[in-house]
Amino acid sequence: MATARHGAPAAAEIEPLRIYGKVDVDLRPALETAGVPDGEVEQYVKLISREVSPDTVGPGDRFDVVLARKLNAQGQPEIGKIMYAGLYRTDGVNVRLAEWQLRGRRSWFEAEEVGRTYQAIQRPVPGVVSSNFGPRHHPILGYTRMHKGMDFRAGYGTPILAVQTGYVRTAGWNSGGYGNHIELQHGAGLTTTYSHMSRLTARAGQLVQQGQIIGYVGATGLATGPHLHYELRRHGQAIDPATVKFTSTSQLTGSDLAGYRARLGQLLSLPLGRSPEKPWIS
């Protein structure tokens, strides 16, 4: 699939290498054994962690990596950067990432999400907002600090709903004061968290639909009474939930979306290769 870029000769480029394999125990050693170079193993893990928690990848899950290749000065094939990062999991949570250039910038897009139109975010519980995002005097700690989320006052046991469809990144006890806590990953770098719950009904790695019950209001962790502490994060950074609506249009449209899908189709039509010869390792 040698392609000329900006009219430059592409003679040195050769067919990309596709490495496909199964995880026996852990992800990293599986990738290394299959012949993915160390640097690309780290890049792959970083890429898929946008969509799923790498810690939850385990036995039976399959990886699919396409690496660029070119001939070096000695005429030997040399591995280049990742062109495609795929992860197909036994729980049905799949990740398919490929790059696309949009408005002059190369970005990674997930195949399922790229053309999806999101519904607006919904309220996690029906209760009134008792505390907004911003600095405030903490009722328990007794000093002013940043309140990184929004508090909803709601009775003990009120169902808590996923504000948007996403994957459960973490679900369990949080020792940092959040009590029983869930983090959902929605794509486009957005995550939402739900804290102080009395009970959790979702588990890590699970896909939850918008409006699905993920747990119930409680007062676990650092809480004076039953309420939901809710946070919205972009690339891990807490942002004001009141100022952000989930994207209501698809990430790519028109010729970009068609081009992205054509490229993905090309990459996924490469033979499921292995790399017994490892020609790039001296």
Cβ 230 to Zn ion, closest distance in Å? 8
CA 215, CA 130: separation in Å to the nearest integer? 20
Contact 248, 192 (CB under 8 A): no
CA 221, CA 228: separation in Å to the nearest integer? 11
Q: Is 231 in the site for Zn ion (CB under 5 A)?
A: no
CA 102, CA 257: separation in Å to the nearest integer? 10
DSSP-derived pairing of the beta strands 94-102 and 13-22: unpaired
Q: Is 233 in the site for Zn ion (CB under 5 A)?
A: no
Site map (CB under 5 A) of Zn ion, residues 98-137, x = contact? ----------------------------------------
Cβ 228 to Zn ion, closest distance in Å? 8
Q: Is 229 in the site for Zn ion (CB under 5 A)?
A: yes
Q: Is 51 in the site for Zn ion (CB under 5 A)?
A: no
Cβ 121 to Zn ion, closest distance in Å? 18
Q: How many CB atoms lie within 10 A of CB 146?
A: 11
Residue nearer to Zn ion on the CB measure, 59 or 139: 139
Q: Is 151 in the site for Zn ion (CB under 5 A)?
A: yes
Which residues have C-beta within 8 Å of that of residue 254, sequence separation ≥ 6?
A: none
Residue nearer to Zn ion on the CB measure, 169 or 229: 229
> What's the Cα-to-Cα distance from 77 to each of 12, 19, 40, 69, 244, rounded to whole Å?
9, 15, 16, 6, 47
Instruction: Considering only the stretches 7-15, 36-44, 147-155, 172-180, report the one whose residues sit in contact with Zn ion under the rule CB under 5 A.
Output: 147-155
Binding residues vs Zn ion (CB under 5 A)? 151, 229
